[in-house]
Amino acid sequence: MKMIAIIAMFMDHFATTFYPNYEKYWWLLLIHLIGRVAAPIMWFMVVEGYTHTHSLKKYLERLLIFSIIAHFAYNFCFGISLIPLKDSLLNQTSIIWPLFLSVIGLWVEYQEWKDAKKIGCILILCLLAFPSDWSCFPILCTNHIYKNQGNLKKQVLGMAMSLS
């Protein structure tokens, strides 16, 4: 699954980077659409990683380090200023940042806190993820996938509903 996500993401970034007006050509639009499957696969993989990790701290450290590295690569590739929020509020960093925040969101869900505290924490994570690629969807969708583990139909339906 990781390889499918990597190939799909590469195809999407290739079409966007080298052909900025990809909408004009059907085959580039198709490549871009194929690339859209990368994010849901990543969300699923984050849930699996969270579920099966032996060290949550090390998992979070790796995601944070990779999100910092990916920030510079993403911004360079798409011509975005390295200074956060300088040019725009949206798409300021890669999807790895909200994936990192998603793991924290999964940890929050596991805590035996009152629902109001959990909801507040998730809202804060969504606000922190808002300026990134895919905004707060990774946090909400990974949470949905986690809550519906073992029920692929519910997982896919929930993601499709939240993305439409």
Q: 120 or 159: whose pLDDT is higher?
A: 120
Give me the percent of the chain exceeding a pLDDT of 90.
Answer: 57
Non-local (6+) Cβ contacts of 26 within 8 A are none
Q: 158 or 51: whose pLDDT is higher?
A: 51
Within 10 A of 159 (CB to CB), how many other CB atoms are there?
21
Q: List the one residue out of 82, 43, 85 whose CA is nearest residue 63.
A: 43
Mean pLDDT of the chain: 90
Q: CA 125 to CA 100: how far, in whole Å?
A: 10
At position 72, the amino acid (one-letter code) is: F
Reported for 53-58, long-range contacts at CB under 8 A and 24+ positions apart, including other chains, are 56/103, 56/107
Give me the percent of the chain exceeding a pLDDT of 70.
Answer: 98
Helices (H), the chain: 2-18, 26-35, 38-52, 56-78, 96-110, 115-129, 137-147, 152-163
* Burial class, 133, CB count within 10 angstroms (exposed 0-12 / middle 13-18 / buried 19+): buried
pLDDT given for residue 107 in this prediction: 97
> According to the per-residue pLDDT averaged within each range, which of 3-7, 10-14, 99-103, 148-152 is highest?
99-103
Is the per-residue pLDDT at 77 higher than 90?
no
Kindly indicate the confidence band of residue 78, based on its pLDDT and cuts at 50, 70 and 90.
confident
Read off the DSSP letter of residue 111. S
Rounded to two decimals, the pTM is 0.88
Angle between helices 56-78 and 38-52 (to 10 degrees): 160
